[in-house]
Amino acid sequence: MQLKNTSKYYGLVSILIHWLMAIAIIGMFGLGVWMVGLDYYDPWYHRGLWLHQSIGMLLLLLLLFRLIWRLSNPVPEIIGLWWEKLVAIWVHRGHYLLMVILMVTGYLITTAYGRGVDVFGWFEFPALFPADKGRETTLGFYHMILAWGYMAYIAMHAAAALKHHFIDKDTTLLRMLGINQNKEEKEKHHED
């Protein structure tokens, strides 16, 4: 499989980033909801937040790369009716927007007092914006509401993918799994 996208298929890089972020973001939601309910004496009380912040910063960096990759690659043609294509384009844009807002608010909460974010003890991501005491509470609320909202959004996105697969019986889901392409390539080989 090629690394870059073509006008018909997703490349390996796009596929890996899609699924890696899907798993990480859903995991981050679970971790976030779980960690804020922990007891002060729980061994995970500090570790849970540290993990959430560390993964969050890596996700933000990955998202930046993903946006660059998205803009420098062809976009595989969307399968569906004209209005489905229109909805799909805006839903995808919504994904990027929601991810950016979620990750940036998380970053701004952690750096509210002007201190950087420790990422797994490997490096410190600097606080790029001036300290603004109090924003951690306001943004914390939005971060939580958006996280729940984004999970609903992801559920709809997954339902749409399954609808394409089981009802429309098209290759929308398969090509994001990199399956259809292999199948077609193999068929092509047989024909040869």
Partner 1 sequence: MKIKLIIGAALVALGISTSAIAENYVIDKKGQHAVVQFKVSHLGYSWMIGRFNDFEGTFSYDEKNPSAAKVNVTINTASVDTNHAARDKHLRSPDFFNVDKNPTSTFVSKSFKELGDGKAKLNGTFTLNGVSKDITINVTHIGHGQDPWGGYRRGFEGTTNLNLADWNMPFAPKLGPASANVELYFSFEGIRQ
Residues contributing to the site for partner 1 (CB under 8 A): 39-41, 49, 109-113, 115, 133-134, 136-137, 140
> Given the complex with partner 1, which of 80 and 140 has the nearer CB atom?
140
Taking each helix axis from N to C end, the angle separating 44-71 and 82-110, rounded to the nearest 10 degrees, works out to: 140
Alpha-carbon span 88 to 168, nearest angstrom: 15
Do the beta carbons of residue 34 and residue 101 sit within 8 Å? no
> Given the complex with partner 1, which of 111 and 172 has the nearer CB atom?
111
Minimum distance of partner 1 from residue 63's CB (angstroms): 23
Minimum distance of partner 1 from residue 125's CB (angstroms): 15
> Given the complex with partner 1, which of 49 and 101 has the nearer CB atom?
49
> Given the complex with partner 1, which of 133 and 189 has the nearer CB atom?
133
Minimum distance of partner 1 from residue 121's CB (angstroms): 18
Do the beta carbons of residue 91 and residue 172 sit within 8 Å? no
Q: Give exposure, 31-66, as e/b (b: 16+ Cβ within 10 Å).
A: bbeebeeeeeeeeeeeebbbbbbbbbbebbebbeeb
> Given the complex with partner 1, which of 115 and 183 has the nearer CB atom?
115
Minimum distance of partner 1 from residue 140's CB (angstroms): 5
Minimum distance of partner 1 from residue 30's CB (angstroms): 19
Do the beta carbons of residue 112 and residue 104 sit within 8 Å? no
> Given the complex with partner 1, which of 130 and 167 has the nearer CB atom?
130
Minimum distance of partner 1 from residue 185's CB (angstroms): 50
**146: DSSP letter:** H
- In single-letter form, the type of residue at position 22 comes to A
Three-class secondary structure of residue 56 per DSSP? helix
Chain centre to alpha carbon of residue 6: 21
